[in-house]
Amino acid sequence: MKKMWLALFAVMIMVLGCASRPSAYQFIPGTYIGEGFGYAGRMVMAVEVDSSRIISIAVREHSETVAIAAPAFDRIPRQIIERQSLVVDNVAGATLTANGIITGVRYALISAGATEDQLMARAPRRAGARAREIRMETDVLVVGAGGAGYSAALEALQAGARVIVIDKLATIGGNTRVAGSAMNAANPELQRRLQMSPSEFNIIQGILAMPAHDDHMRRWQENVRRDLAGHTARGAAYLFDSPDLHKLQTYIGGDFIANPELVELLGDYALESVNWLASLGGGWTENISAAVGATWARSHLPNFNFGSAGSNFVLPQEKRFTQLGGETFTEFRAERILMERGRAVGVSGRNSAGTPFTIRANRGVVLATGGFSANVEMRERHNRFWPTLDATIRTSNIATANGDGILMAEAIGANIIDMEWIQLVTRVLGGSFSASISNNIFVNRDGDRFIREDGRRDDLSMASLSQPGSFFWWISDGHTVDDMLGGVDIRGRIIRDRVDNYRIFMAYTIEDLAIQKGADPVRFRRAVDDFNAAVAGAPDVFGRQVFESKINKPPFFAAWSSAEVHHTMGGVEINVYCQVLDTSGRVIPGLYAAGEVVGGIHGSNRLGANAITDIIVFGRIAGQSAAASR
């Protein structure tokens, strides 16, 4: 069986021989440079040719996420050289990167003397017998190799089940691998380092004064009221938090649309899941902060010991899963859930070679296929809130987040809920500096603040879309860039190297930064001064409550930012065992789901950093439940 592999590929691909071609090239020997654009921006290719052949291809510059783009870096140059043609196979999950490579190579080869007809000629390929259908059998089949999928797979494997994971992409990690790098959990041990401000105390009091929406909310309020009284009686000055406060803010933040039984699980098992990842080797910093849209400083930040962005939320599980004998098959695209006598018994589909496969699961199928933020047709069909979610609105997620798991489940009668709730997030172009909002502010084109930066994500996004040009500047300084991040962004790139004086600016005074980005220096200085006064205790004009440091430590940064589709709160309906329910509210035997493919956990608006908590908590439950099924 095919084993999953992970490696960083060399960017130089060379070959000693090549296939014959219908029409020979007539190159001027040398090395030529060409540019293309991938998922994250500009790519520079260097192509070496002799008088008639392509000799080597090197990726000189790129900003792609290597974990996702690695197969394209390996396969596309190798296939171009082997075939002496730009007619090559697609790479699942890295199409934009592949296109950037091909475009750069095309321009380089045209400079060397090639014609379009020559470049697009197909090299002769050997005819072979059609591959027979692949058939496999296991106890638990997990569809989706992201954080939810591997959390489920590892739990099922450790419970004694045989487990197979499949994914349509060429690499593992899915959307988790490019996540914003924060995970919510109430953790008083770390929160003792944060002093609770009067405004934060007032936030809790406001929550406790709200009319209870149901018995769950009433009980959470009673527990928080009791625990806060004890906190105050002890004379504690540090930031108060508890699983029940986390539940309340999640439930209220989603406008009471979420299933409170699922919110209960999210809050109760959040910290246990943080510690579970740590037990698998996933490291954490000692910082606890508030991610954008988190509304409270309970966001845990990884130390990136497994790689950049969201690697720490999926690779620890995958590593242990593989060590224990679990198997992963990449580029296996599931197309249909197999049903027998009303029970889910496996899936069928095709691999990247077009070979059909059928995998039977004796105990259960776990859907962990993610959301539909990259599926413009689904976004537009279900959108009820935003002016438009057409192709002009980008997504922060991978291009293959297209809701195929939701569609497969719907086809066998699963109930689909909350699809109209589609979240946008305010994000720095090309990836954020940090998942934390604590030391950052948003200013518009003119240099004015326009929103409380610690607010709900839907409020932040709607406000940013209403600014001149529908964009804003994300303002940061040395407190975040140097002290918190060590000069490196969440994707592992040196932040100062990203300064291009076009989309990202750096200056050593506030006034110079304003001039560079085209804002009024007086208005921008006023915005910064007003924020700094609020950090010192003055009322914030926009009602912001979460603060840490003033913006007063050079260098200062401004990054072009906009709202992008980030999370889809709708999906299949589940119960507390992660069993999928049908349209009549009955369990579909053998079918489980976890992660963004699920609806009912976040309501109308997901709090920032709750998604990682979601995928780990419910991924583990789904794996345990599937393994226990007979």
**Given its phi and psi angles, is residue 186 left (phi above 0), alpha (psi -120 to 50 degrees) or beta?**
beta
Is residue 457 annotated as part of the catalytic site, yes or no? yes
**pLDDT (tens digit, 9 = 90+) per residue, 463-489?**
999 999 999 999 999 998 998 888 988
- Measured CA to CA, the distance from residue 120 to residue 129 in angstroms comes to 26
pLDDT bin (cut points 50, 70, 90) of residue 9 is very low
Q: Structure tokens of 450?
A: 């326009």
Residue 630 class from Cβ within 10 Å (0-12 exposed, 13-18 middle, 19+ buried)? exposed
Distances (CA, A) of 424 to 135, 335, 372, 492, 567: 41, 28, 13, 24, 7
Residue 354 class from Cβ within 10 Å (0-12 exposed, 13-18 middle, 19+ buried)? exposed
Distances (CA, A) of 390 to 216, 283, 383, 386, 418: 38, 38, 10, 10, 19
Q: Are 182 and 301 in contact (CB under 8 A)?
A: yes
Q: Are 358 and 612 in contact (CB under 8 A)?
A: no
Please give the single-letter amino acid code of residue 432. Answer: S
Provide the pLDDT for residue 12.
40
pLDDT bin (cut points 50, 70, 90) of residue 98 is confident
Q: CA torsion angle for 183, 185, 191, 197 (degrees, to 10)?
A: 90
Residue 67 class from Cβ within 10 Å (0-12 exposed, 13-18 middle, 19+ buried)? buried
HSE-up of 127 (CA within 13 Å, CB side)? 0
Q: For the chain, list the domains and their CATH numbers.
A: 12-119 (3.90.1010), 134-173+330-421+571-628 (3.50.50.60), 422-568 (3.90.700.10)
- Measured CA to CA, the distance from residue 338 to residue 365 in angstroms comes to 10
- Identify the H or E element spanning 428: strand 422-428
Residue 115, pLDDT > 80, answer yes
Q: What is the 3-state secondary structure (H, E, C) of 103-133?
A: HHHHHHHHHHCCCHHHHCCCCCCCCCCCCCC
Token match 């909350």: residue?
418
Average pLDDT score over residue span 364-391: 96
Residue 51, pLDDT > 70, answer yes
Average pLDDT score over residue span 324-350: 96
Most confident range, picked from 38-47, 111-120, 282-291, 572-581: 572-581
Average pLDDT score over residue span 66-86: 86
Position with higher pLDDT, 526 vs 123: 526
The pTM for the full model equals 0.79
CA 135, 138, 142, 146 dihedral sign is negative
Which phi and psi angles does 31 have, rounded to 5°?
Answer: -115, 130
Residue 62, pLDDT > 90, answer no
Average pLDDT score over residue span 64-78: 82
Token match 């999370």: residue?
567
What is the bridge-based pairing of β-strands 327-330 and 163-167?
Answer: parallel
Q: Which of 343, 355, 277 is nearest to 312 (CA)?
A: 277
Residue 10 class from Cβ within 10 Å (0-12 exposed, 13-18 middle, 19+ buried)? exposed
Residue 67, pLDDT > 80, answer no
Provide the pLDDT for residue 2.
39
Q: Are 441 and 542 in contact (CB under 8 A)?
A: no
Residue 124, pLDDT > 70, answer no
- Measured CA to CA, the distance from residue 446 to residue 468 in angstroms comes to 9
Provide the pLDDT for residue 295.
86
- Measured CA to CA, the distance from residue 607 to residue 483 in angstroms comes to 25
pLDDT bin (cut points 50, 70, 90) of residue 23 is low
What is the 8-class DSSP label of residue 305?
A: T
| 3-class DSSP assignment, residue 376 | helix
Q: Are 299 and 608 in contact (CB under 8 A)?
A: yes
Q: CA torsion angle for 359, 176, 409, 623 (degrees, to 10)?
A: 60
Provide the pLDDT for residue 20.
41
Average pLDDT score over residue span 180-186: 92
Q: Structure tokens of 296?
A: 């409270």
- Measured CA to CA, the distance from residue 368 to residue 370 in angstroms comes to 6
pLDDT bin (cut points 50, 70, 90) of residue 123 is low
**Cis, bond preceding 555 (omega within 30 deg of 0):** yes
Reported residue count of the chain is: 630
Name the active-site residue from 75, 457, 491, 606: 457
Average pLDDT score over residue span 79-87: 89
Q: Which of 244, 141, 145 is nearest to 595 (CA)?
A: 145
- Measured CA to CA, the distance from residue 96 to residue 101 in angstroms comes to 9
Q: Percent of the chain, pLDDT > 70? A: 93
**pLDDT (tens digit, 9 = 90+) per residue, 400-431?**
899 999 999 999 999 999 999 999 988 887 66
